[in-house]
């Protein structure tokens, strides 16, 4: 008797044949499907075949089937127009893992609520815990004093892998996209469905678990991807490291027990397969929860599962890491080391999962018949290469960063030392950096002898490192007399202290520093702001040290003043059931403020600390595009910047959706919003939001028929009767967006 040894290719062919033999035929509900040009779905031989036209008229096909009761991508292929098909993968199994912990409110939130006498309102505290920042549900036992109810215990943490009980699929047409969903997903305490979405005019494919839990106080993160890439045909995974050097793995080593996290630049890894490429990456902003720092923790992964196959996908880490402390002197080094350690232990809040909310755990793929380098360029176009692009007539401004700028300069002994945050901001396309020193650094509460020399170094350093295209505005987060935390900016450097000693005048002429304000009360601070044309806004409203604010200021002179600009916008917290960034906390604050009184706005803020060029900073930022034709130099008056802010003549964006122009046309009750938009990811919807002084309402305009990389002038008629103010926003399919500031309507 003769025995034959199977070669690897033959072994792989037989394995596919065996799997296909036991595969179940797929049936699908097409009741919500409508055949459209260039994107279609049909059942063929027990498989659902999805076909569409992508970038540059490239053609894409994916066939779905069942392996038992589990959905499988039987075939994924792409080709250039009139070219040969490139097979990127076969028999790929969707993979999801979830890690859950217990959500707690923070002591930082409780502190202002205690001062306001609100800490015994159980219903309020239950709502406030979902706005937490200082929480690290996976950190055992937790940093003392950060949250009530510590220490945490290991049994609070649970991990689960997705299983499926799917017997059929549903196919739905939504504008220029098709959604294919498979019910019967179980993911630990979550349950729901698996969904794939293809977009006409794009090579994007979105895979997501749409699931909910009924448990209380759940915080979570997830890992997602595809399993089953054949090493024989998909030979390597490539990525750029944090220094932008190309790296690769060719699976010549042993198998992996766990996913290998890749600290890939731009959150992107690429499978090279069959002469083409498959990129894998997370949503550019919605995937990331608020942190104090922006270290790249490795958001994509691979895993060699056996000698013949591997997996790839996206991930979040279980914990924060320390940033690199700075310091020439031991004193500064030790303080910054303690701060870095505190951040790593106390802040890694994960996502919120309130009971009954449908969390959308997404991963994106980009199917390409091209090389990995070209595919990388195609994907990076969706985020303008992780840069906020220039727009004619606008300047890009960021706010609220604690980089301890003056401390670094003084500690180094030279005002000409360039801290690492400056090239980081420049590379992002930022023109105006409104900084916030004296927040854990320097001597913020000193009456003058220590603080004033430090302010002088702050101002001189800002001047030294500004230029014709980059202005550093030395602001502050004083958080002294108004209540909660707040940010201040002025149209010029202003010397001031937070202390007014008995008998000391508010303003004095110092022989060394010139005009100096000594502020000892809210009235003093308001007088300084008026005299110097400064602005103030509530930092991180309704969370952190501003819990209960600006609500507590509603009836005060501070809030009613035109010096009080409004509040800050930051994607914090993150709830993956929301279609917008900071959907509940930020926009409810904005709309409430405008119902309470005069025009108030949201200013995009970062509120982060140390920053390095090898960090992944882009995804954690939203920015302000100020309507401003020319950037003032440091030596000039910055009043045009302050004026643009005070008039609400700016929009906030994550970068992928931009307002090229905005206006309200018409008089009397019949008016129109005119907004010229450009976008990269396929659009989802526009919204017109308004208030009448008592309540807020909105009109949604679906935009799922718009392809990616579009530009259009939208005209939205509305009836101004009974409306006090209106605003407009646009959001895309990945959760990115932009909003123009509210406009208060004059009487007809």
Contacts of residue 314, defined as CB under 8 A and 6 or more positions apart, other chains included, come to 223, 224, 225, 267, 280, 281, 282, 287, 299, 300, 301, 363
Pairwise CA distance, residues 190 & 562, whole Å: 47
**Which of 574, 683, 561, 552 lies closest to 619 in space, CA to CA?**
574
Measured CA angle at 306 (ends 303, 312), to 5 deg:
25
What are the b/e assignments for 207-223, b being 16+ CB within 10 Å? bbbbbbbeeebbbbbbb
Cα separation, 365 vs 312, whole angstroms:
11
CB-based contact 543:132 (threshold 8 Å) = yes
Chunked mean pLDDT (size 10), the chain, 748 residues:
42 44 80 92 95 95 96 97 94 98 98 95 95 98 95 97 96 97 98 98 98 98 98 93 96 95 98 95 97 96 97 97 91 92 94 98 98 97 98 98 96 96 97 96 95 98 97 96 97 97 96 97 98 98 98 97 98 97 98 97 96 94 96 97 98 98 93 97 98 97 96 97 97 98 82
The tokens for 142 are 């937790």
> Contact, 214 vs 68, CB < 8 A?
no
Residue keyed to tokens 């003043």: 561
Domains of the chain: 8-99+160-321+350-381 (2.70.98), 656-748 (2.60.40.10)
Report the predicted TM-score, pTM, of the whole model to 2 decimal places.
Answer: 0.95
Cis peptide before 564 (omega within 30 of 0): no
DSSP codes joined into one string, 497-548: ES---TT--SEEEETTTEEEEE--SHHHHHHHHHHHT-EEEESSTTSGGGTT
Q: Report pLDDT for 7.
A: 45
CB 659 within 8 A of CB 675: yes
Amino acid 23: pLDDT: 61
Q: Is 613 helix (H, G, I), strand (E, B) or coil?
A: coil
Picking from 63, 61, 25, the residue whose alpha carbon sits closest to that of residue 46 is 25
Report residue 234 CA to chain centroid gap: 32
Residue 141: its pLDDT value, please? 97
Query: Which residues 6+ apart lie within 8 Å of 62 measured at CB?
Result: 49, 50, 73, 75, 76, 77, 196, 198, 205
Can you say whether residue 192 is alpha, beta or left, with left for phi > 0 and alpha for psi between -120 and 50 degrees? left
CB atoms within 10 A of CB 530: 12
The reported pLDDT for the residue numbered 746 is: 73
């Amino acid at each position: 008797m003769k025995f034959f040894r199977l070669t690897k290719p033959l072994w792989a062919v037989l394995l596919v044949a065996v799997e296909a033999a036991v595969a179940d035929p797929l049936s699908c509900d097409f009741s919500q499907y409508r055949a459209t040009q260039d994107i279609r779905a049909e059942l063929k031989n027990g498989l659902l075949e999805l076909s569409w036209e992508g970038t540059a008229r490239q053609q894409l096909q994916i066939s779905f089937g069942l392996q038992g009761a589990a959905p499988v991508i039987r075939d994924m292929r792409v080709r250039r127009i009139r070219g040969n098909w490139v097979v990127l993968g076969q028999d790929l199994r969707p993979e999801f893992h979830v890690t859950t912990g217990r959500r707690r409110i923070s002591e930082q939130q409780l502190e202002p609520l205690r001062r306001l006498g609100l800490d015994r309102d159980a219903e309020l505290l239950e709502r406030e815990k979902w706005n937490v920042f200082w929480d690290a549900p996976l950190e055992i036992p937790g940093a003392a004093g950060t949250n009530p109810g510590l220490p945490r215990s290991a049994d609070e943490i649970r991990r689960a892998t997705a299983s499926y009980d799917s017997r059929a699929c549903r196919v739905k047409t939504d504008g220029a996209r098709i959604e294919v969903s498979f019910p019967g997903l179980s993911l630990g305490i979550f349950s729901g469905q698996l969904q794939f979405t293809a977009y006409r005019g794009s090579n994007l494919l979105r895979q997501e678990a749409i699931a909910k839990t009924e448990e209380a106080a759940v915080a979570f993160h997830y890992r997602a991807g595809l399993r089953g890439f054949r090493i024989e045909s998909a030979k390597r995974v490539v990525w750029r490291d944090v220094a932008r050097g190309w790296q690769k793995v060719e699976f010549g080593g042993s198998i992996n027990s766990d996913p290998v996290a890749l600290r890939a630049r731009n959150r992107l890894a690429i499978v090279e397969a069959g002469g083409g490429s498959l990129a894998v990456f997370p949503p550019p902003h919605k995937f990331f929860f608020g942190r104090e720092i922006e270290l790249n923790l490795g958001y994509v992964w691979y895993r060699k599962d056996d000698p013949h196959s591997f997996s790839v996908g996206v991930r979040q880490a279980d914990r924060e890491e320390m940033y690199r402390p700075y310091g020439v002197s031991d004193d500064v080094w030790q303080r910054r080391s303690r701060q870095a350690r505190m951040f790593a232990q106390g802040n890694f809040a994960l996502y919120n999962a309130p009971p009954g909310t449908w969390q959308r755990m997404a991963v994106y793929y980009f199917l390409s018949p091209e090389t990995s380098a070209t595919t990388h360029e195609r994907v990076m176009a969706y985020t303008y290469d992780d840069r906020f692009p220039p727009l004619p007539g606008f300047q890009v401004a960021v706010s609220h960063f604690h980089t301890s700028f003056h401390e670094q300069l003084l500690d180094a002994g030279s005002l000409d030392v360039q801290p690492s945050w400056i090239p980081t901001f420049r590379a992002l396309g930022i023109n105006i950096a409104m900084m916030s020193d004296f927040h854990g650094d320097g001597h913020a509460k000193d009456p003058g002898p220590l603080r004033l020399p430090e302010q002088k170094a702050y101002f001189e350093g800002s001047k030294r490192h500004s230029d014709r295209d980059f202005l550093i505005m030395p602001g502050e987060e004083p958080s002294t007399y108004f209540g909660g935390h707040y940010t201040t900016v002025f149209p010029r450097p202003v010397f001031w202290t937070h202390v007014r000693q008995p008998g000391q005048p508010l303003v004095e002429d110092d022989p060394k520093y010139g005009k100096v304000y000594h502020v000892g009360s809210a009235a003093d601070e308001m007088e300084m702001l008026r005299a110097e044309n400064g602005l103030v806004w509530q930092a991180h409203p309704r969370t952190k040290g501003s819990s209960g604010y600006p609500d507590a200021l509603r009836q005060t002179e501070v809030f009613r003043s035109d010096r009080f600009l409004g509040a800050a916008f930051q994607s914090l917290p993150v709830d993956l059931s929301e279609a917008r960034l900071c959907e509940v906390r930020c926009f409810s604050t904005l709309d409430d403020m405008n119902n309470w009184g005069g025009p108030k706005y949201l200013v995009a803020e970062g509120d982060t600390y140390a920053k390095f060029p090898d960090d992944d900073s882009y995804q954690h930022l939203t920015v302000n595009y100020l309507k401003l034709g020319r950037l003032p130099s440091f030596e000039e008056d910055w009043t045009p910047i302050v004026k643009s802010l005070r008039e609400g003549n700016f929009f906030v964006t994550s970068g992928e959706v931009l307002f090229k122009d905005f206006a309200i046309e018409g008089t009397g009750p019949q008016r129109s919003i005119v907004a010229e938009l450009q976008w990269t990811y396929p659009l989802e919807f526009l919204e017109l939001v308004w208030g009448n002084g008592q309540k807020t309402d909105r009109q949604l305009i679906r935009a799922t028929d718009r392809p990616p990389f579009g530009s259009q002038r939208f005209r939205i008629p509305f009836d101004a009767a009974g409306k006090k103010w209106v605003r407009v926003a646009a959001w895309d399919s990945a959760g990115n967006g932009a909003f123009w500031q509210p406009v208060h309507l004059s009487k007809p």
